[in-house]
Amino acid sequence: MEYPIWQLTTLGGGFWIALIATLHVYVAHFAVGGGLLLVLVEQAAYRNNNVHLLDYVKKHSRFFLLLTMAFGAVSGVAIWITIALLAPQATITLIHQFVFGWAAEWVCFLGEIVALIVYYYTWESMDRRDHLTVGWLYFLFGWLSLFLINGIIGFMLTPGDWITTKSFWDGFFNPTFWPQLVFRSFFSAACAGLFGFVTATRIQDEDTRHAMVRTCSVWTTLGIVATILSGLLYMAALPPAQMELITLKSHRVLGFMTWFWIFAGVTLVGGLILAFRMPRTMSFSLAMLVMLSGLGLFGSFEFIREAGRKPYLIWDYTYSNSIQKAMVPVINQEGAIKHAKWAPPELKAGITEANVLKAGEFLYQLECASCHAIGGPMNEIRKRTSMYDENGMDAFLTGMGKLNKYMPPFAGTTQERKALAAYIAVTLNGNKATTAATIPDPEAVEPSPFDPDSAEYALLAWADQGMRFFAQNDKWTLLPPRSVVRAQLVLRDGLPEFVTDGVTIEYAVEDGIEAAAPTGTMQLLGSQNRFEADLALKPYRSGQFEPLPVVTLTAKVDGETVATAKVAVPVSDQMGCRNCHGGDWAEDGSGVSQGTVENILAAHDRMNKTDHVAASAKGPITCANCHADPSQDSEGRDNLPSLAAAIHGVHAVYMAGRDSAQSCMLCHPQNTLRDNHGEAGFECANCHGPLEDHAISLLKGDQEAGRKGANKLLPLITPRNVGNADAVNPRTPWVNEPDCLNCHVDFAAPDSDSTFNEWTDDETELFAARRDEMDAVNCAACHGSPHALYPATDRDNVMPGQYMDQARIFGAAGSCTVCHVDEMEDPAHHAGMGLN
C-alpha cells in the first residue's frame, strides 16, 4: 500500500520470481556443495598423483567460477530487484528486521568472492597447502552464507515468536531453522554431484572419467536420499496449520508433490545408471538431463514449501499481495484505494459508475497481480474465473481466504469488492450478467366436479413441500426427483369423519409430465390418519418446463369411486448453480448443465482433496452417501457435515451480507414462495433467517449430532440477526423447521414478521404433517401446501376452486360446508377461525 505497483499482465503472477529464484537458488546450493567437492577432489588428485584429475579440477573450477560467481551474482541482484518491485512491503520488512544478518551475509559473500578468485587464479603460483586452505576458506564462507540466508528464508515461512516479540534472534532461529539447514546442506552436496556429471564428461582419460563419474554418483545418490529424508523432517517441523495447507488443504500441491517424486526417482536412477552402466560412454546430453532433473526436484520441493507459506509472504504478518494482516480491518472499513498512496487521483475522489472498471483494474494490480497473470503461464486469472459473472465473482471475493486459506482475504470496502468483481468478470472475461430464470405463468386448471348438495365425500389433498427441487445428472445426484402428495378422505356430515377402512386412493399425473410411475395407489398411514404417495416427478410437460404439475386423485370405497380431486405437486430443477459455477441451463431454462456439474465437482476436489472428477466418470456420485440427509433417509458419515449444513455452510461463507434475493433465490427456484406471504413482501429470511443464521442453525445441529465436519465451517460464519452464534438454536434439516405459531400466536393475526430460531420439535409438528386441536384434520388439508397457502397461484388454487369456487382457506367466510353439511358456529379445529 505504501509503494508504487509494478503493473504486470502476461508475465505476472510471480513468474519472474519463480524463474529467477529457482535457477539462482539451485546454483547457490551448487556454490556451497561444489566448493566442498573442489577441495576434496584436489586433495585426491595430489594424494594419487593423478595429473588428469588435477587438470579436471582446474577446468571445473573455471566452470564453477563462471556459474556461481557470474551467473549467481547477477541472478542474486535480479532477485532483489524483482522482489523489491513485486513485494516491496515484505522486502522492506526483511531489510529492517535483519539488517545485521544481511551485513554478516554480505561479509561472507565477499569472502566467497575473494577466496574463489584467489583459488582460481593461483593454481600455478601458490603452493598446494596454501591453495587447499583457500579452497577450504571458500567452502567455509559459502556454508556460512547458507547458514545466514537459511535463517531469513525460514523466518518468512515460520516466524514463530517473532510475531509478538519482534526479536532478531526469535526470527532468525525460527522453528524450522535447523531442519531446513540440514536439508539445504545435503541438497548442496547433491548439487555438487549433479553439476559434476556435466563437466566430468570432458575428462579425456577414461579411468579418471570413470572414477569421477562414480564419485559424482555417490554425491548425487546419497545426497538426494539424505535430502528426501531431511526434507520430510523439515516438513514435519512445520506448525500444524502450515503442514495442513501442504498435506490436506491445497489440491494444487498434489501436482507438485507428484512431480517431486518423479524427479527424485529420475535423479536417483539417472545417477546410478551413469555410474554403473554408462560411465565410460556417458554423453554430455545425458549428464545435462540428470542435472536438469535435479532442478525439477528442487523446484517442485520449493513450490511445496511455498504452499505452506500461503497466503502469506511472511507467515501471519504480510499477505502475498504485500498487505499487512494487521491493516486488513482498517482497510475494510476505510477502503483499499484510500490507503494506497500511489492510487490514481481520480479514484481517490471515489468510485463512480464512470470509473468503476478503472477502479477494478487498479485493485486487481494492487491485490491480485502478485499471484495471477492475465493470459500468462503463472496462475492465469481468466482461466480460474471464466465461469463467473459479476455476482458470482463478488461472491467468490467475499469468501476468499476464509474456507480456502491458500489465498488472502479481499481487503477493501463492499464497493471496492464489487468494482474488482466487475473488472474481472466484464473486462477480463467478457461475461454478461447471468439472466434470471424464466418461470411460465401458472395456467388455471379445470377443477374436479363437486356438488355440495349431493356429494357424500370430500377428498382433500396437498403436497408435503411448497417446492420440491432436485438436481440429478450423469455425474452426481444432489437430490433425486421425489415429490410427496398427501390426502384425507372426509365423509361429509354434521360431524364429519375421516374414512380409511376399505378406502383406496389412486393417483394419475397429468399427461405429458415426466414421472417414474405416472399412475398408482397411495399408501395408508393409519397413525397419521392420511394417505400418501411418493412421486418421482420431473418438471417437464411435453418437453416444456412446468414446475406445477397437477395430479388427479380418485378415492374409492369398496371399489366404488366416491370422490375425485386435483392438486398441484410442485417440483423444479431450476437450481442456480450456474450463477457461480458457470455453464447454462441444461434444458430450456432449467436443469444443471454438464459444464456446471464438472465445475462443481472440480471445486469440491480442490477444497476437500477428493477425486470426484475422476470418480464420476465411472458413475454418478450420490452426495447423500457421504453427507447425511433425512429427506433421503441417509445417515452419511459421522465426520462430515450433513448435506444441508454442508451446502448452506459453504455458501454462507461466500454469500455473506446479502439479502434473500441475492443469496437464497440465486440458488433455489425463484417461485418457491407463491402465497400471500410473498405478496406481503416476506422473504426466506423472515422464517429461516438470513443465509448465515440459517447455516449456523444447521451446523450447530450437526455439532449436537457429533458431526465433527461442522467445526470447520462454524467459525467462518458470523450471524446477522442474533447477537452471536451461541444465540442460534440448533436444528436438524427437514425435521426442525420454523413454526407458524411463533408468529400466529394462538392462531391470531401475526404480531411479528419473523419466526426464526424457534423450531418444531419433530416431524409430526411440521406444517404438512400437523393436525388440528382435535387431532383430526391436517392443517395443510384446509390451508394448502407449505409456501403455497391459499390463495396462491391459479394452479395451486385448483382444490379450493373445486370446493368453494374461489381461492381461500377451507372454513373461511362460511365455507365449513365443504366437510360439514351445516354451517358451523364454533371454531372447533383451532381458535381464531374465520367462520364468518
Position 279 scores a pLDDT of: 52
With cut-offs at 50, 70 and 90, classify the pLDDT of residue 281: low
Distance CA 37, CA 45 (A): 12
Cα 410 to Cα 162, 321, 328, 428, distances in angstroms: 25, 10, 9, 18
pLDDT at 352: 95
Instruction: Name which of 389, 336, 332, 395 is nearest 362 in CA terms.
Output: 336
* Angle ∠(795,801,805) on CA atoms, nearest 5: 150
Q: What is the CA radius of gyration of the chain?
A: 36
Sign, CA torsion 15/17/20/25: negative
Give the integer Cα–Cα distance in Å for 417 and 269: 51
Cα 395 → chain centroid: 12
Q: How far apart are CA 120 and CA 131, in angstroms?
A: 9
Q: Where are the domains of the chain?
A: 15-314, 334-428, 457-802
Q: What's the pLDDT score for residue 791?
A: 93
**Which architecture, in CATH terms, is 15-314?**
Up-down Bundle (1.20)
Q: How confident is the model at residue 537 (pLDDT cuts 50, 70, 90)?
A: very high
- The answer to whether the beta carbons of residues 194 and 267 sit under 8 Å apart is yes
Q: What is the pLDDT of residue 215?
A: 93
Specify the pLDDT at position 248: 65
* Cβ-contact 669, 574 below 8 angstroms: yes
Report whether 499 contacts 458 (CB < 8 A). Answer: no
Tell me whether strands 503-509 and 483-491 are parallel, antiparallel or unpaired.
Answer: unpaired
Of the pLDDT bands very low, low, confident and very high (cuts 50, 70, 90), residue 836 is very low
Q: Express each pLDDT in 674-700 by its tens digit.
A: 998 988 889 999 999 999 999 999 999
Q: Give the residue-averaged pLDDT of 467-495.
A: 93
Q: Which residues pair with 505 in a beta bridge?
A: 555
CATH of 334-428, picked from 3.40.1440.10, 3.60.110.10, 1.10.760.10, 3.40.50.300, is 1.10.760.10
Residues in contact with 745: Cβ distance below 8 Å, sequence separation at least 6, in sequence order: 751
Specify the pLDDT at position 303.
87
Give the Cα separation of 312 and 625 in Å (integer).
37
Q: What is the mean pLDDT of residues 115-119?
A: 97
- 3-state SS string over 284-334? HHHHHHHHHHHHHHHHHHHHHHHHCCCCEEECCCEECCCCEHHHHHHHHHH
Q: At 49, which amino acid appears?
A: N
Element (H, E) at 231: helix 206-236
CA–CA gap between residue 341 and residue 415 (Å, rounded): 19
Cell numbers for 474, please give them.
450423469
Interhelix angle for 177-200 vs 15-48, to 10°? Answer: 70
Label residues 397-429 b or e (16+ Cβ within 10 Å = b). Answer: bbbbbbebbbbbbbbbbeebbbbbbbbbbbebb
> 203-234 b/e with 16+ CB inside 10 Å = b?
beeeebbbbbbebbbebbbebbebbbebbeeb
**pLDDT over threshold 90, residue 398:** yes
Write down the residue that cell numbers 579411468 correspond to: 207
Q: What is the pLDDT, as a whole number, of residue 251?
A: 61
Q: What is the pLDDT of residues 736-777, one digit of tens each?
A: 999 988 888 888 888 777 788 999 999 999 999 999 988 889
- Report strand pairing: 468-469 vs 513-515: unpaired
CB 834 within 8 A of CB 812: yes
Cross-strand bridge partners of residue 592: 585
Closest CA to 57 of 187, 178, 215, 176: 215
Pairing of strands 503-509, 312-314: unpaired
Confidence check: pLDDT of 623 > 90: yes
**Mean pLDDT for the chain?**
92
Interval 587-593 mean pLDDT = 87
User: Residue 353 corresponds to which cell in the numbers above?
Assistant: 459508475
Which of these ranges, 438-442, 628-632, 697-701, has the smallest mean pLDDT? 438-442
CA–CA separation, 480 vs 622, rounded Å?
9
pLDDT at 419 over 70: yes
In 3D, which of 567, 554, 450, 460 has the Cα closest to residue 503? Answer: 554
What average pLDDT does range 192-203 have in this prediction? 91
CB 264 within 8 A of CB 298: no
Q: Beta partners for 314?
A: 318
> At residue 250, does pLDDT exceed 70?
no
Asked if residue 421 lies in contact with residue 393, where contact means CB atoms within 8 angstroms, the answer is yes
Predicted pLDDT of residue 275: 72
Exposure pattern of 470-506 as b/e (b: 16+ CB <10 Å)? bbbbebbbbbebbbbbbbbbbbbeeebebbeeebebb
Span 298-304, average pLDDT = 89
Tell me if residue 230 falls in helix, strand or coil. Answer: helix
Q: How much is the pTM? A: 0.89
Beta-bridged to residue 759, according to DSSP, are 738
Mean pLDDT of 486-510: 95
User: Looking at residues 61-90, what average pLDDT do you find?
Assistant: 94
Residue 459's closest CA among 327, 557, 581?
557
Calculate mean pLDDT across residues 391-407: 92
The predicted model gives 690-719 an average pLDDT of: 95
User: Cell digits for 236?
Assistant: 514435519
pLDDT digits (tens, 9 = 90+) for 29-40: 999 999 999 999
The beta-strand segments (E) located in 193-264 are none
Helix or strand run (H / E) with residue 540: strand 537-541
Reply yes or no: is the peptide bond before residue 239 cis, omega within 30 of 0: no
Arithmetic mean of pLDDT, 149-167: 96
**Whether the Cβ atoms of residue 549 and residue 539 lie closer than 8 Å to each other:** yes
Q: What is the pLDDT of residues 555-586, one digit of tens each?
A: 999 999 999 999 999 999 999 999 899 988 98
Compute the distance between CA of residue 411 and CA of residue 820 in angstroms, rounded to an integer: 66
Would the pLDDT of 520 be above 50?
A: yes
Full DSSP string of 491-525: E-BSS-EE--TTEEEEEEEPTTEEESSSEEEPEEE
